[in-house]
Amino acid sequence: MSSTQRRASMRIPPFFRRLFKFTSMDFETKQTKSTYHRPDPAFTYLLALFLLLTGLAWGLAYTSGASGPIRVALVFVLGHFLGTSLAVSTLMYFLVGRVLGKRRQGLFGPGPPGPGEEGLEFGYCFDVSIRAYLPIWVFLYILQFLLMPLIAQDYSFASNFFGNTLYLVALAYYFVITFLGYNALPFLSRTEVLLAPIPVLVIIWLISLFTFDCATNLAPVLWCGVGLRKPV
């Protein structure tokens, strides 16, 4: 087998390359059938599966009983991932469409077309919210879980710094990907305002280094009605 063939066989499938490509997140948008929304649920299904497995891991570490891990996993998928994405996409559908461009009524497709009119679709907003959740999962559900024994302990500046920085990076990436998603639509303007929360996050992060431990107080498992304790 030639070196070229070996490299080709070792290539990551395009879907998985896009899955972890934070800077584009598959927003090289092409308008098809008068809509920017592409009904491809594969990304949603795969990320939901990852969150399900992550929830089982958190549940096994921080709950007792057979039902604990299952409950945490379901809350991670249905509440944290889908619930938050649905709420954010609904908010963005009305605010972004109304403030940054023309808003056309339509859920998962465009509404009645006007002369030369393009508009924001709810399905596209949901796509953006789903993809923006990926860095949240990577930094706050995976890396934080692995680092919990180090960052969720008696207060020290080092543990607080690394723990709180995970939250800063995750949320900053969330807004960057959200910006990239809406910036890809040619009929929206001033989309850079979607990056405005990032300087605010930096200020909050600086203050929190001396006042608040995010890893101990905001760990995902705490939002499942489960108290944080040492892993079993």
Task: Report pLDDT for 230.
Answer: 56
pLDDT at 190: 86
Residues 122/95, Cβ–Cβ less than 8 Å: no
**Tokens 């390359």 correspond to what residue?**
17
User: The dihedral of CA 209, 217, 137, 28: what is its sign?
Assistant: negative
Q: What is the 3-state secondary structure (H, E, C) of 20-41?
A: CCCCCCCCCCCCECCECCCCCC
Per-residue model confidence as pLDDT tens digits over 85-131: 999 999 999 888 778 775 444 455 544 445 445 678 888 999 999 99
Q: Give the whole-angstrom CA distance, residue 58 versus residue 185.
A: 38
As given in the structure block, the two tokens for residue 37 are: 């929304």
Q: Is residue 164 part of a domain?
A: yes
**Mean pLDDT, the chain, whole residue set:** 80
Domain annotation covers residue 12: no
Answer positive or negative: Cα dihedral of 81, 215, 57, 61. negative
Flag whether 189 is in a domain: yes
Least confident of 9-13, 67-71, 162-166: 9-13
Residue 16's pLDDT band (boundaries 50, 70, 90)? very low
Q: What's the mean pLDDT in 189-214?
A: 93
Residue 171 within a domain: yes
Instruction: Check pLDDT > 90 for residue 142.
Output: yes
Please check whether residue 172 lies inside any domain of the structure.
Answer: yes
Task: Please say if the pLDDT value at position 12 is more than 50.
Answer: no
Which 3 state secondary structure label does DSSP give 69?
helix
Identify which has the larger pLDDT, 199 or 39: 199
Q: Which residue has the higher pLDDT, 143 or 23?
A: 143
- Determine the structural domain holding residue 139 and report its residue range: 37-224
Q: Which residue has the higher pLDDT, 37 or 156?
A: 156
Q: What is the pLDDT of residue 58?
A: 95
pTM score of the predicted model? 0.78
Query: Does residue 16 lie within any of the structural domains?
Result: no
The count of structural domains within the chain is 1
